[in-house]
Amino acid sequence: MKDRQSKKDEAWELLQKQVQEHANTIEQYVKVPLNQNQYDALASFQYNLGCHILKNSALLKYLNARQWDKAGNEMLLYCNAGGKRLQ
């Protein structure tokens, strides 16, 4: 049975791997510079919805066109689960 430290180390390695996957995906799809707040929001959004949520999305189109308000509004469309709006 694994001890607490090895489980913690495993979890940390998994998190680092996932963070790198999301960073790579953002770099692959987003072709305009983002400020730190924009990048962090996008990374969090993508972490919760999956690496390839950006691919062929309206959100990506708005980001790459620097239409920040439209991009923000598009992100708000992803706040539902089971047909109900989440807080």
Q: How confident is the model at residue 29 (pLDDT cuts 50, 70, 90)?
A: very high
Q: Please state the pTM of the whole predicted model.
A: 0.78
Q: Which residues pair with 80 in a beta bridge?
A: 85
Domains and CATH numbers, the chain: 4-85 (1.10.530.40)
Q: Which has the higher per-residue pLDDT, 33 or 47?
A: 33
DSSP 38-81: HHHHHHHHHHHH-TTSSTT-HHHHHHHTT-HHHHHHHHHTT-EE
pLDDT (0 to 100) of residue 38: 95
Residue range 55-68, pLDDT digits in tens:
999 999 999 999 99
The tokens for 66 are 């620097």
